[in-house]
Structure 1
């Protein structure tokens, strides 16, 4: 495997490929994303170990969504079993994926602790009877500060894990090396990744604006509240559908071809 430097314009291409591939198999890719969210949500409410298990499964679940995108891009219908692709690649790679998951969970808990130390005394208690909108929630003392601190701290963790699950699963790279090469690839293609995130920001903003205009013309706040969650989930599914292409174009095999 070799790093492949791509131009900044590739970032927009990744956004387009994610959206285009999603609409090739919208029911399958949306359904798999909903399954992924359901599993994470159910695990998160399990007492004691549930939250840690949910975090530990995120790298494997992300890999499953990337595998589904690869099948959709090849004209195939991704079956639900593709979501468990990370656990169907042999004992060594399953063990490596579990190690990645454990590292990710540990890193997430460290970030939560640092956020509590830097931004305040811990999670902010919110009285639902006094908070009627997202705007009011963000105006609560410490909430916005905590979100910003958490976002900044999660950036390096995200870069470490951006390509790591795919490197472990498809190319047998060890967990430590996969984290290193993931961060190196993100840095090498930082221009394309910046354009990629700006592109998705524009897409999300444009869709949100369209929802607000539609609700204003047809149904007001009730229609907006009705559409907001399903549309946000579909947009998130499209975003996850684009992750595979950022990996595919950031590495080449020894013969100069893009990885499968």
Structure 2
């Protein structure tokens, strides 16, 4: 497996919380899945608890896993402030070590796309499968590659979004991207601008998983894809869907012949 790449963008957990404070549109989907679970729930790459904590507030037995210490420290602090009982695991998702078994495991918001090589992707899928109860469900959430976006020229920056900084000022985020077809890795350079001054730069690398490829990887890891959606509203997946949300079922024990 290749070393995980580009995780330094998550070192500043407080700014991450500030940057994504307004991102809430995906929470109802994952919260609904967690509440419907027949047992404990695990969020892989939980970050600062943006989704984990709402699940805990609903009274669900939830565990959060992340490999970045600063993100988990922020998540723990937030949980302690609210007196929420959450187990936090500082682990690599390609080798999850826990005696607990889960009815739902999920990886939200493109987190799986930090796994750039085949061994890492299969390692995660296999490790997640092994933490599931028999018949449990792994939910994957990655973007559906858009060829027009992958074809953007590196020398052509574009406005990506705006965020509110910690001091309350607005930062415009300018992005440039380059796509490596040989590795299927899309690289972003994000410049955070206050007026004409760049106050912060992030470099993010995301592995693109194409639809049939992702189905094959799940099958290779011993998972049965039972549903595929195109967005958090659980609409049917099409070539134009912005997301690939897969429901992958762990195998049931083989029947015993008597």
Using CA pairs below 8 Å that are at least 6 residues apart, which structure has the higher relative contact order?
A: 1
- Bucket of the pairwise TM-score, normalised by the shorter protein: under 0.3
Per the normalisation by structure 1, the TM-score is 0.26
Per the normalisation by structure 2, the TM-score is 0.27
